[in-house]
Structure 1
């Protein structure tokens, strides 16, 4: 499994643990919901700015999104 796929799974797990929809996370991260969905499925390779925005939207530390 590639890093972007692991990252996407961590975004999805974190989002679901907080009982958030993709739309809510996208809004809180100031990203489009389709882009967030593509990240969760490992189809996109997000920039560091996007990683930071997702962590902020999830109210978690950036490192959490890279845990195995």
Structure 2
């Protein structure tokens, strides 16, 4: 997984953890929903300025976007 993919995965996870739609986060961070969508797909590189705004709105440190995603353990119920 390259850095752009890692950023995209973490951005999507952090947004979903807040229960926000792409429209919600885009509005709060003052970027277009289309641009946010492309960032979450790993299509575009992101600027430091936008990373700062996204981190502020998601209430995380900027380095959260580059952390290795943790593997989720699935358990069988029943």
Large movers: runs of 4+ above 3 Å: none
Q: How well do the aligned residues superpose, as a CA RMSD in angstroms?
A: 0.7
Q: Partner residue of 1:47?
A: 47
Q: Which runs of 5+ in 1 are unaligned?
A: none
In the superposition, the TM-score normalised over structure 1's length comes to 0.94
User: 1:50: Cα distance to partner?
Assistant: 0.9
Larger Rg belongs to: 2
More helix by share: 1
In the superposition, the TM-score normalised over structure 2's length comes to 0.83
Q: Which runs of 5+ in 2 are unaligned?
A: 69-78
Q: Partner residue of 2:24?
A: 24
Tell me the distance in 1 between the aligned counterparts of 2:36 and 2:51.
11
Tell me the distance in 1 between the aligned counterparts of 2:24 and 2:56.
12
**2:13 matched to 1:13?**
yes
Number of residue pairs the alignment of both structures matches: 68
Tell me the distance in 2 between the aligned counterparts of 1:5 and 1:54.
16
